Amino acid sequence: MTDSPIQIHDPSLARTLASHLLDIHAVVLKPTDPLTWSSGWNSPIYCDNRLTLRYPEIRTLIRDGFLEILEELPAKPHVITGTATAGIPHAAWVAEAATLPMAYVRGKAKAHGLGNQIEGGIDKGEQTVVIEDLISTGGSALGVIDALEFVGVEVTALLSIFTYGFHQANEAFGAKGIPVYSLTDYPTLIDVAVEKKVVSRSDLQTLEEWRQSPETWPAS
């Protein structure tokens, strides 16, 4: 992913976390029996990072990884913001450890009450870091960033647990100009999966072809 604006903060942590995700089946690889995403895309991989919530040691690893990134940012944010819904618990744990306020952003404004889209409270002029569990095309995270910027909040970075490294996300985040950090990514995960014999080396071409053109894979 040399062309990607999404940075892996700690390669050693990336491998450790990838191994954990495979062990708890948060990531399932099926190169010869593809799955179908809600988008309609065919895929040899499915990632459900919500399964990490069941494992305190993995949750802590993720939290501490995010905290290390925060410590190296040029400025400490005023608020930690989670994406709904899977980013919310991780944002809460990071905010608690960093002694910072926390907010989260809904996919759309509520149709009742005050009609809030941003919950927990964040003020115009404040800086925030957004925590996302998974980056695919980047659309949901960019929607959160746009909602925050619309009310005058400055998003200084986006942090994720895992990224596929799709060209759509790379281009979108590159255009946005906001630093993006991920704890682990698709190339690392596939390398670890081969090492753990979850997939074989003969599957590597198929897995890379999918990542390069997920919307049209498999080619007819």
What does the pLDDT look like over 21-65, one tens digit per residue?
Answer: 999 999 999 999 999 998 899 999 999 999 999 999 999 999 999
Under 8 Å CB-to-CB from 50, ≥6 apart: which residues? 26, 86, 133
Single-letter code of the amino acid located at 13: L
Q: What pLDDT band is residue 102 in, cutting at 50, 70 and 90?
A: very high
Closest CA to 190 of 62, 63, 86, 47: 47
Q: What is the mean pLDDT of residues 86-113?
A: 87
Give the β-pairing of 154-163 and 127-135.
parallel
In this structure, which CATH number among 3.40.50.2020, 3.40.190.10, 3.20.20.150, 2.130.10.10 belongs to the domain 6-212? 3.40.50.2020
Report residue 67 as tokens: 């905290």
Type and span of the H or E element at 134: strand 127-135
Scanning the structure block, which residue is given the tokens 């746009």?
146
Residue extents of the structural domains in the chain: 6-212
What does the pLDDT look like over 183-218, one tens digit per residue?
Answer: 999 999 999 999 999 999 999 999 999 999 999 998
Cα 189 to the center of its chain, rounded Å: 14
